[in-house]
């Protein structure tokens, strides 16, 4: 049985804040963030947007591209996020209720820093492959926050991507050719219960965490599949900033042309669980039938999930049935100042 993506969709909030606007408040040097981390702006959720609302809209777009899959036929929904609105009460139940997938469905919320979305994708495709369910959905969504003034504040952003997996030959958009995960206990980034903001190992986040896991996972899946970087049309990597995904891609042997469509972080920021999944949606938006796409996520703590997808002829027929990803990032945006940002992210203490 050939399992693959039969529907995909992204959703990005409209508000943006520029790096200069954040740097101004903290007396930081904006050009060094722009050049050093290749970050220009990031998305900001409104007060009425959260992981659940972004997930619902991304999932609706995935259904639009699925060629009429009835929500009630979806047997599993996994929402991966590090910013679930409730500490106890699953995001997945609200998402599935809004989509009309309940009640005959298996639901779980997943957490694994920035790779919770790709975990959901892995589980969803595995259940379809095992014949347990006909369709399964994996969603990565986040409205992440960095501590005020911390380096993460320049990148922590909001967005979601949803993927519907199935095995109906006439619905396949991108076949899953291989999967491969590479995971260790690496303390590069964490947040304890009841803490508002995460802590990170600063310089420790680069080589032993991000680069080691992505390199190992990407090289592992290419070896497993007997493929080399030049065999791929595109590659998408986790993007905590603008610089890291280009550097890891180059080290692995990929060219800028292969990385460009899925490289969104300079204008979107780091959408955590949504990051590489949204990059994949933007890549599918431009991919051609027969193209091979490599996607490798990274979640602190730490691990990387890799997928190799082969795009089918059907992509041409479905990609414009829902809003494409890149226009959502570039068009109709609302630029906000730091004061508005602080209000929207609930950083201002209100009188009771």
Partner 1 sequence: MRSPGRSWREHPQRYRLEAAKCTGCGRILYPPRVVCPDCGGREFETVTLPRKGTIVTYTVIDVPPTGFQGQAPLVLALVELENGVRTMVQVADVPDMDRLAVGMPVKLEFRRISEDGEAGLIFYGHKAVPA
Tell me, residue by residue from 95 to 134, as one string, x for binding to partner 1 by CB under 8 A and - for no binding.
--xxxx----------------------------------
Among 5, 44, 94, 133, indicate the residue that binds partner 1 (CB under 8 A): 94
Rounded-to-integer distance, Cα 269 and Cα 266, Å: 6
Residue among 175, 116, 174 nearest 319 (CA):
174
Question: Near partner 1 by CB under 8 A, which window of 33-41, 46-54, 168-176, 185-193?
Answer: 46-54
The two beta strands, 199-200 and 106-110, are: unpaired
Among 25, 46, 151, 225, indicate the residue that binds partner 1 (CB under 8 A): 46
Q: At what angle do helices 243-252 and 212-225 cross, to 10 degrees?
A: 40
Contacts of residue 89, defined as CB under 8 A and 6 or more positions apart, other chains included, come to none
Among 18, 43, 49, 304, indicate the residue that binds partner 1 (CB under 8 A): 49
**Would you call 114 a catalytic residue per the annotation?**
yes
Q: Given phi > 0 = left and psi -120 to 50 = alpha, else beta, which region is 144?
A: beta
Give a three-class secondary structure readout of 62-80.
HHHCCCCCCHHHEEEEEEE
Residue 220, both tokens: 């592992």
85 is an interface residue for partner 1 by CB under 8 A: yes
Rounded-to-integer distance, Cα 57 and Cα 237, Å: 23
331 is an interface residue for partner 1 by CB under 8 A: no
CB-nearer residue toward partner 1: 48 or 185: 48
Of the residues 114, 119, 153, 200, only one is catalytic, namely 114
Encode 137-174: b = buried (16+ Cβ within 10 Å), e = exposed: bbbbbbbbbbbeebbbbbbbbbbbbbbbbbbeeebbbb
Residue 324, both tokens: 């494409």
**Would you call 111 a catalytic residue per the annotation?**
no
In degrees, to the nearest 5, what angle opens at C-alpha 319 toward C-alphas 256 and 288? 45
**Smallest distance, partner 1 to C-beta of residue 14, A:** 5
CB-nearer residue toward partner 1: 1 or 47: 47
Residue 206, both tokens: 């680069």
Among 72, 130, 195, 334, indicate the residue that binds partner 1 (CB under 8 A): 334
347 is an interface residue for partner 1 by CB under 8 A: no
52 is an interface residue for partner 1 by CB under 8 A: yes
CB-nearer residue toward partner 1: 257 or 332: 332
CB-nearer residue toward partner 1: 110 or 344: 344
**Would you call 49 a catalytic residue per the annotation?**
no
Restricted to residues 11-40, the positions that interact with partner 1 (CB under 8 A) are 14
**Smallest distance, partner 1 to C-beta of residue 85, A:** 6
Question: Near partner 1 by CB under 8 A, which window of 49-57, 138-146, 256-264, 310-318?
Answer: 49-57
Of the residues 11, 40, 200, 238, only one is catalytic, namely 238
Peptide bond into 276 cis (omega under 30): no
Among 43, 53, 179, 258, indicate the residue that binds partner 1 (CB under 8 A): 53
Neighbouring-strand partners of residue 314? none
190 is an interface residue for partner 1 by CB under 8 A: no
Rounded-to-integer distance, Cα 310 and Cα 117, Å: 20
Contacts of residue 192, defined as CB under 8 A and 6 or more positions apart, other chains included, come to none
Among 3, 39, 56, 107, indicate the residue that binds partner 1 (CB under 8 A): 56
Of the residues 49, 57, 82, 153, only one is catalytic, namely 82
Which residues would be at the binding site for partner 1 (CB under 8 A)? Answer: 14, 46-50, 52-53, 56-57, 60, 85-86, 94, 97-100, 332, 334, 343, 350
What amino acid positions are annotated as catalytic residues? Answer: 82, 114, 238
């Amino acid at each position: 049985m050939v399992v693959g993506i039969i529907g995909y969709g992204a959703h990005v909030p409209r508000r943006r804040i520029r790096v200069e606007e954040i740097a101004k408040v903290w007396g930081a040097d904006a050009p060094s963030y722009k050049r050093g981390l290749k970050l220009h702006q990031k998305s900001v959720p409104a007060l009425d947007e959260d992981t659940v609302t972004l997930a619902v809209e991304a999932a609706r777009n995935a259904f639009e591209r699925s060629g009429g899959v009835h929500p009630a036929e979806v047997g599993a929904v996994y929402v991966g996020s590090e910013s679930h609105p409730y500490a106890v009460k699953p995001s997945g139940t609200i998402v599935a209720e809004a989509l009309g997938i309940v009640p005959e469905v298996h639901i779980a919320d997943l957490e694994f820093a920035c790779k919770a979305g790709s975990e959901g994708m892995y589980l969803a495709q595995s259940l379809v492959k095992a014949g347990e369910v006909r369709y399964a959905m994996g969603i990565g969504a986040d409205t992440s926050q960095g501590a005020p003034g911390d380096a993460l504040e320049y990148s922590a952003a909001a967005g979601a991507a949803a993927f519907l997996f199935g095995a109906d030959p006439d619905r396949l958009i991108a076949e899953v050719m291989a999967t491969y995960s590479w995971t260790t206990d690496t303390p590069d980034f964490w947040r304890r219960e009841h803490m508002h903001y995460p802590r990170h190992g600063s310089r420790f986040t680069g080589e032993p965490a991000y680069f080691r896991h992505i390199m190992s996972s990407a090289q592992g899946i290419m070896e497993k599949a007997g493929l080399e970087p030049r065999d791929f049309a595109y590659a998408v990597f986790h993007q905590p900033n603008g610089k890291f995904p280009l550097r890891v891609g180059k080290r692995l042997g990929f060219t800028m042309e292969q990385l460009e469509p899925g490289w969104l972080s300079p204008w979107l920021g780091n959408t955590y669980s949504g990051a590489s999944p949204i990059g994949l949606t933007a890549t599918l938006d431009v991919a051609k039938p027969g193209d091979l796409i490599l996607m490798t996520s990274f979640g602190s703590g730490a691990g990387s999930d890799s997928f190799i997808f082969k795009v089918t002829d059907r992509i041409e027929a479905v990609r414009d049935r829902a809003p494409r990803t890149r226009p959502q990032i570039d068009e109709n945006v609302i630029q906000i100042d730091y004061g508005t940002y602080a209000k929207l992210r609930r950083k201002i203490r209100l009188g009771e």
